[in-house]
Structure 1
């Protein structure tokens, strides 16, 4: 009997892993733009300060005489402008109303600091008002000139981003017009949605890497059934912009930016590509080694109890389907009678999972006495730390399933096989065995894949401890 799974590529990595750690493409241009804006803003603020001191009231003002306070003023104003996101690209640096609010907020802080710092002296109110007024005027004018110069250079073909468009022929012309309205992109290639299909996917991303593509525009219709593909763009260091249709909804990792006058879902690429999944693997490796050493006395105690409870081996090894359909042997402490797998066929009619993909029974007669205790506290899963150490599993991820379950998969279930399976996951901390429908479990797995982060893994691990201690849904 063969497993209905996708073609197996032995060296194919986890969906979330990058092909090496590297700096995001185009980051040098963006860094130069930000540094230029910061330098111009500082120049404008220093000029506004000196003019305010020159034309303000001639008082014994310690605020005007100390250069250290000028430095504090500049740092505070630049910091607030940065916090407001006004050094980001596109419409952000042209947001004059937010720039006005940022400068005004910094002026309020400066007045408060001036009052507390030198409460025994008069502070020139006219100097502050002039400084605030000139700061607003100079910064807005400088940003406007910067924007005009940038647009002129882009019309000449300088400082443009190489982008790739993936859309169906019916939407191609409209999407090209949207991209061209922004006047900062060069469309380097166009393909239809079939380039994201499983058989074409690797060639597509290899082509994008060779061409040095910084951003990719993908129509919602081309990606709505392939949302986990966002990880392919993310790990390739390519910013993904999803062009809308009338019925789109936001992806969990996306932010809305206006491109060509329309809202566009954007999933930004990381500055340093590949580090987050590398940290995950290092964390898995270190934790598995430490836990195997610390828990070795418990391993010996459980092994002794299993031997005394029923005849048969201490460990149970079963073939599971893991990353990209690869088969591997999962390790568990034996909790059933020795011939449990042969007896399962006679119990299929009592399966409590409604769609029949998984096999679960609350009062399974094959479970031994010590097995019930081990399952209650999930102690039977401890040997899977060996699978984590060998790189076959992770601490957190979708549970690897037996061949019997995978043979009943439909096409949309195979997204689970795109990431490294885990000992625990979102499914386990959201009800464990109480989930009686495999589709509900798949939805939780997809939610985990779409929202994955190191913090999410840590949160699931902490919740797992709570669920195990409380024995929630365990049998």
Structure 2
């Protein structure tokens, strides 16, 4: 496909070995992280040394060896605080997403405050607090300069090795032309526009990049593997169409970004952002891979193990009650579609008589739930013990074992029985992009009182806003929701 004008000669000789290494995405990410960590670690040590040396020189007692030794003693804790804070602020992210000098200043200042408070709480005495503010100024200058050099050098390497990401713009021609022009002006941009997909087939054709057809042609382009990113250029892009574009791209591991409006561009330019002449806001895929998945998985394992240990007496009492009051197994294995629609055995305490599944067809006309879900408030198939367990949602506790097995998460969209899954509309099934959950926003937002479409929208909202703190909030709110009996039957 034709690149943005002025074109880059793809026949130009490139360092073969270097190009091969940089095309290994995982290796490139590791190289980036190591380089940035090295810069920040070195900068903090240099900043402390410079601050000590300048003060000593002013007082006429300069001793390089002594200052270097003192800097080595002070540096470890300061480095640790700076690295954690920079990671929190996204300063080790991808090139196109890393913030600039403003965040470096903010992160370094916050780290200085933490170090000073720790020193005071630890009872350390200071004749002055120069080491803190002197080290702060030196660190900002050193980190800023070295990171600027890194951005320039890495940008040159990316251009030399042809590592720009291939992007397709989607939107009206005039919006796409404006975005293409802004990207063309950015000499350090890691994005190469391959072409434009327009929404209106009778509208104007783009002038800054090649026309690739209509938005309906996106699946064919994605299937060819020639697109690394999709950029929506129209701030007023139709929501239903945007959801479809995002879904198609995320299924193929392609990132989606939204170009800002003119006012947002002007506001962003108030801060120095290396490599971001045109800031792009990414529509992140659901939490299903990478660091986010690892964090969520560790959280699930630790919390579910703790809950199982604490509630083990309750679990044994429930099992005994089920065994003594009705025939059949204590644990019911409900075959349900999981992530990606792959079926798994969802564990539950048995709350129904053994012939429950065979009797469901005759009860379909009594269904009280909307959409695909089947629920009856006074289901005749439920045992007396089962009614109590369902009322308090205690029948779901065995699903903690599914969490340990990696088939479920503590928080996420609830897995539906196969019967309900088969009746879902296509847009409903987007909730199956992630592991199903033991609890979710359904359970803390009305439970069975909600319309099914509203439940699905809550699932989408959770997927877009996921964080460990949100998971904790939902888990805590699940307790009063259960004991308050809101919408449970």
Q: TM-score, normalised by structure 2?
A: 0.61
CA separation in 2, counterparts of 1:149 and 1:97?
14
Q: 1:230 to 1:425 in 2, by over 3 A?
A: farther
Higher relative contact order (CA 8 A, sep 6+): 1
Q: TM-score, normalised by structure 1?
A: 0.62
Residue 401 (str. 1) matches residue 416 (str. 2): yes
Once the two structures are TM-superposed, the CA of residue 424 in structure 1 deviates from its matched residue by 2.6
User: Alignment partner of 2:280: what SS?
Assistant: strand
- Decide whether the 8 Å contact of 2:301 with 2:404 is kept in 1: no
The one of 116, 119, 125 aligned to 1:117: 125
Once the two structures are TM-superposed, the CA of residue 441 in structure 1 deviates from its matched residue by 0.7
CA separation in 1, counterparts of 2:395 and 2:319?
10
Once the two structures are TM-superposed, the CA of residue 395 in structure 1 deviates from its matched residue by 4.3
CA separation in 1, counterparts of 2:319 and 2:110?
63
Residue number in structure 1 paired with 2:459 = 445
Segments of structure 2 that go 5 or more residues without pairing to the other structure are 1-24, 198-214, 265-272
- Rg larger in 1 or in 2? 1
The one of 352, 357, 367 aligned to 1:335: 352
The one of 363, 377, 386 aligned to 1:344: 363
Once the two structures are TM-superposed, the CA of residue 401 in structure 1 deviates from its matched residue by 2.4
- Decide whether the 8 Å contact of 1:328 with 1:392 is kept in 2: yes
CA separation in 1, counterparts of 2:103 and 2:374?
61
Q: How does 1:201-212 map to 2 (within 5 A)?
A: 204=225
The one of 388, 411, 430 aligned to 1:373: 388
Q: 1:97 to 1:358 in 2, by over 3 A?
A: closer
The count of corresponding residues between Structure 1 and Structure 2 is 412
CA separation in 2, counterparts of 1:242 and 1:461?
32
The one of 244, 249, 274 aligned to 2:260: 244
Q: 1:266 to 1:68 in 2, by over 3 A?
A: farther
Residue 303 (str. 1) matches residue 311 (str. 2): no
Residue number in structure 1 paired with 2:294 = 275
Residue 176 (str. 1) matches residue 180 (str. 2): yes
Residue 419 (str. 1) matches residue 434 (str. 2): yes
- Decide whether the 8 Å contact of 1:377 with 1:468 is kept in 2: yes
Once the two structures are TM-superposed, the CA of residue 344 in structure 1 deviates from its matched residue by 1.4
User: Alignment partner of 2:164: what SS?
Assistant: strand
Once the two structures are TM-superposed, the CA of residue 300 in structure 1 deviates from its matched residue by 3.3
Once the two structures are TM-superposed, the CA of residue 428 in structure 1 deviates from its matched residue by 1.7
The one of 430, 434, 457 aligned to 2:445: 430
Q: 1:389 to 1:42 in 2, by over 3 A?
A: closer
- Decide whether the 8 Å contact of 1:241 with 1:264 is kept in 2: yes
CA separation in 1, counterparts of 2:359 and 2:90?
64
**CA displacement, residues 372-422 of structure 1 (integer Å, 9 cap, x when unaligned):** 223222233355567667665444432222455344433321112223333
- Decide whether the 8 Å contact of 1:399 with 1:425 is kept in 2: yes
- Decide whether the 8 Å contact of 2:82 with 2:107 is kept in 1: no
Q: 1:301 to 1:195 in 2, by over 3 A?
A: farther
CA RMSD of aligned residues (A): 5.5
- Decide whether the 8 Å contact of 1:394 with 1:423 is kept in 2: yes
Once the two structures are TM-superposed, the CA of residue 25 in structure 1 deviates from its matched residue by 4.0
User: Alignment partner of 1:166: what SS?
Assistant: strand
Residue number in structure 2 paired with 1:46 = 49
Once the two structures are TM-superposed, the CA of residue 438 in structure 1 deviates from its matched residue by 0.9
The one of 179, 197, 218 aligned to 2:231: 218
Once the two structures are TM-superposed, the CA of residue 305 in structure 1 deviates from its matched residue by 1.3
CA separation in 2, counterparts of 1:402 and 1:149?
53
User: Alignment partner of 1:117: what SS?
Assistant: coil
Residue number in structure 1 paired with 2:164 = 162
- Decide whether the 8 Å contact of 1:239 with 1:267 is kept in 2: yes
Once the two structures are TM-superposed, the CA of residue 299 in structure 1 deviates from its matched residue by 1.5
**CA displacement, residues 248-295 of structure 1 (integer Å, 9 cap, x when unaligned):** 9xxxxxxxx796444422478997586346546756996899799863
Q: 1:239 to 1:33 in 2, by over 3 A?
A: farther
CA separation in 2, counterparts of 1:75 and 1:388?
38
Residue number in structure 1 paired with 2:152 = 151
Once the two structures are TM-superposed, the CA of residue 166 in structure 1 deviates from its matched residue by 3.4
Moved more, 421-430 or 83-92: 83-92
User: Alignment partner of 1:32: what SS?
Assistant: helix
CA separation in 2, counterparts of 1:387 and 1:149?
46
**CA displacement, residues 132-169 of structure 1 (integer Å, 9 cap, x when unaligned):** 5x985896498458636853774573598632313227
Q: 1:291 to 1:396 in 2, by over 3 A?
A: farther
Residue number in structure 1 paired with 2:19 = none
CA separation in 2, counterparts of 1:152 and 1:375?
61
Residue number in structure 1 paired with 2:210 = none
Q: 1:317 to 1:36 in 2, by over 3 A?
A: closer
CA separation in 1, counterparts of 2:150 and 2:335?
63
Residue number in structure 2 paired with 1:98 = 105
- Decide whether the 8 Å contact of 2:431 with 2:456 is kept in 1: yes
Once the two structures are TM-superposed, the CA of residue 442 in structure 1 deviates from its matched residue by 0.7
- Decide whether the 8 Å contact of 1:81 with 1:99 is kept in 2: no
**CA displacement, residues 158-211 of structure 1 (integer Å, 9 cap, x when unaligned):** 5986323132273554333333444333446747566875x886774xx77xxx
Residue number in structure 1 paired with 2:340 = 324
- Decide whether the 8 Å contact of 1:228 with 1:450 is kept in 2: no
CA separation in 2, counterparts of 1:104 and 1:470?
44
Once the two structures are TM-superposed, the CA of residue 443 in structure 1 deviates from its matched residue by 1.4
